[in-house]
Chain A
Amino acid sequence: MLKRDVYRIFKVLVGIERGTHWLNYYVLKNLRYYIYLQKYHKLILDLQNNSNTFLQIFIFVTMLFLGIIELFRAFYPLFSSQHIVGIITAYLVLILILILYYRYKNHEITNEIESVENDFLAKISKGESELEESRIKDEIIITTIERKFLNELADEYLKAAKRGEISVEEAETELKNIVTASEELKNKIENYLKELDIYKRDNND
Chain B
Amino acid sequence: MDKNRKNKEEDRTLDELIEKLKKLIGSPGRKFDEFHMILPFINIRIDKELEEIMKEMEKMKKEKKRK
For B28, give its contact among A130, A140, A141, A179 (CB under 8 Å). A130
Contacts of A67 in B (CB 8 A): none
Categorize the interface residue count of chain B: 20 to 34
B residues 1-55 in Cβ contact with A at 8 Å: 14, 18, 21-22, 24-29, 32, 35-36, 39, 42-43, 46-47, 49-50, 53-54
Q: Is the CB of A193 within 8 A of B28?
A: no
Contacts of A154 in B (CB 8 A): 50, 53-54
Q: Is A137 an interface residue (CB 8 A)?
A: yes
For B18, give its contact among A131, A133, A141, A179 (CB under 8 Å). A141
For B29, give its contact among A130, A155, A178 (CB under 8 Å). A130
For A189, give its contact among B32, B39, B54, B60 (CB under 8 Å). B39
The stretch from A81-89, A97-105, A116-124, A142-150 touching chain B is A142-150
Take A168-B61, A186-B43, A196-B32 as given contacts and tell me if A144 and B18 are in contact as well, using a CB distance cutoff of 8 Å.
yes
Contacts of B18 in A (CB 8 A): 141, 144-145, 148
Interface residues of chain B: helix, strand, loop or mixed (majority): helix
Q: Is A203 an interface residue (CB 8 A)?
A: yes
Which chain B residue lies CB-closest to A174?
B57
Contacts of B50 in A (CB 8 A): 150-151, 154, 178-179, 182
**Contact flags (1/0) for A138-173 with B, using CB distance below 8 Å?**
101100110110110011001001100000100110
Take A19-B28, A130-B29 as given contacts and tell me if A147 and B46 are in contact as well, using a CB distance cutoff of 8 Å.
yes
Contacts of B42 in A (CB 8 A): 144
For A137, give its contact among B14, B24, B46, B49 (CB under 8 Å). B24
**CA of A97 to CA of B38 in the docked complex: distance in angstroms?**
68
Which chain B residue lies CB-closest to A138?
B25
Contacts of B26 in A (CB 8 A): 18-19, 134
Q: Is A48 an interface residue (CB 8 A)?
A: no
Choose among B24, B28, B29, B50 the residue with the greatest number of A CB atoms under 10 Å from its CB.
B28
**CA of A172 to CA of B58 in the docked complex: distance in angstroms?**
9
Q: Is the CB of A168 within 8 A of B28?
A: no
6 additional A-B pairs beyond A19-B26, A175-B57, beta carbons within 8 Å, are A137-B25, A141-B25, A145-B18, A182-B47, A186-B43, A200-B32
